[in-house]
Amino acid sequence: MFTSLRSKSYYPWLVVALLWVVALLNYMDRQMLSTMKDAMMLDITELQSAENFGILMAIFLWIYGCVSPFAGAISDRVNRKWLIVGSIFIWSLVTFLMGVANDFTTLKVLRALMGVSEALYIPAGLSLIADYHEGKSRSLAVGIHMTGLYMGQAIGGFGATLASAYSWHTTFFTFGIIGMVYAGVLLLFLHEMPKKAPAAAAPAKPAEGFTLRSLGQSFAWLFQNIAFWAILIYFAVPSLPGWATKNWLPTLFSENLGIEMSAAGPLSTITIAAASFVGVLVGGTLSDRWVKRNLRGRIYTGAIGLALTVPSLMLLGYGHSTIAVVGAGILFGVGYGMFDANNMPILCQFVPSRLRATAYGFMNMIGVFAGAAVTQVLGRWKDEGNLGFGFVLLGGIVLVALAIQLSLLRPTTDNME
Buried b (16+ CB within 10 A) or exposed e, 310-349: bebbbbbbebeeeeebbbbbbbbbbbbbbbbbbbbbbbbb
Position 209, amino acid: G
Q: What distances in angstroms separate CA 406 from CA 297, 339, 352, one per listed residue?
A: 11, 13, 21
The CA distance from 151 to 157, in Å, is 10
Vertex 43 angle, CA 37 and 49, to 5° = 50
pLDDT over 80 (residue 411): yes
pTM of the model: 0.84
Are 242 and 109 within 8 A, CB to CB? no
Per DSSP, helices labelled H in 224-260 are 226-257
pLDDT over 60 (residue 188): yes
Question: Which residue, 380, 364, 374, is CA-closest to 63?
Answer: 364
Full DSSP string of 276-288 = HHHHHHHHHHHHH
Residue 112: helix, strand or coil by DSSP?
helix
Position 50, amino acid: A
Are 312 and 335 within 8 A, CB to CB? yes
Q: Tell me the mean pLDDT in the region 273-286.
A: 92
The 8-class DSSP code of residue 295 comes to T
* In 87-219, beta strands by DSSP E: none
In this structure, what are the phi and psi dihedrals at residue 279, rounded to the nearest 5 degrees?
A: -60, -45
pLDDT over 70 (residue 98): yes
Percent of the chain's residues with pLDDT above 90: 51
Q: Tell me the mean pLDDT in the region 296-314.
A: 94
Bigger pLDDT: 110 or 262? 110
Are 124 and 201 within 8 A, CB to CB? no
pLDDT over 70 (residue 107): yes
Residue 350: helix, strand or coil by DSSP?
coil
pLDDT over 70 (residue 6): yes
